Amino acid sequence: MASHATGDGNIPSRDANQKGLTRIMTVGGKYGTRNYTVKDLRDQKGVKTLTETVPFSIEEASAAEEAGIDTMKVRFDPKNPELAIAIRNAAPNTFMAFSCPLIAAATKDEAVRLGYKAMEIGADAVMTQWSPEFIEAATRAGIPVQGHAGLVPRRSTWTGGLKAVGKTIKEALWIYNQIKSFENAGAYAVEVEVIPENLLIEISKQTSLLTSSIGAGKGGDIQFLFADDILGNNGPPYVRHSKQYKNFFELKKKMQLERIDGFKQFINEVQSGAFPSKEHIISTPDGLIEEFLKKIK
């Protein structure tokens, strides 16, 4: 095994170390280099606040890696995994947890198989809304799992809809016990969504899991925002916990107007005869057309 000198990106061991990367082998059996392993991430608890995002395109994934985002979550469709694979390839050195759809696994065996499929195509971990029983089955199979607590949108009917959770003692204890159940099931991290900041501060102290905060303030070990929010891909209204650092929405509107104008100019020039002009066409040598007409008569 030690004879393998390079990873998927052909980065020799010495160069990988100089770039701050670690040589790894995925659960799927592929060599590669990463900015973090699960152990590295857990070693950062209480030391450094990490950053996390969800890119939705290869351009966003590449930009996030170039900027230095610590970890990414990636939407994983087991029936159409092409985008997840493309994003993995666009950011080959960044730790990624593939987000497995809740309803894609109905049994513990299916959860393990789904996790293995994600790991086979390049995931370093899986992010799930699974029950502790499913998480335990996956972690026993060697799959690193990030759970989901607090406001879990697909389970929000149980907590009263798409709104903050944890503002009563009953809800606060429920969130804490849920996170501890994930910890006992072997998870390495948990996304905590839309709960009070001071509650997450205290919960983070009481669990060995890395807590990834989205809408839960500064209490998490990781700060998580979607790329759509960071880049301002969509117009208002915006959810309160998001922040737009760029305004791609307006840029995209301007680009669409430019597209429309480009098509209009093309149509107008075709109709007026201005296109194609001399520089866009090919001419025959003198006499060729006359000879051609004689031949076909």
Active site residue ranges: 193
The tokens of 237 are what?
A: 């209204």
Which of 142, 158, 154, 178 has the alpha carbon at shortest distance from 102? Answer: 154
SS3 of 43, please? Answer: helix
Which of 174, 245, 112 has the alpha carbon at shortest distance from 192? Answer: 174
Q: What is the DSSP letter of 131?
A: -
Q: What is the CA radius of gyration of the chain?
A: 26
β-partners of residue 149 are: 192
The tokens of 100 are what?
A: 């497995």
User: Can you tell me the distance from the alpha carbon of 215 to that of 218, in angstroms, rounded to the nearest whole number?
Assistant: 9
Sign for the pseudo-dihedral over CA of 209, 215, 219, 225: positive
Which of 210, 235, 227 has the alpha carbon at shortest distance from 46? Answer: 210
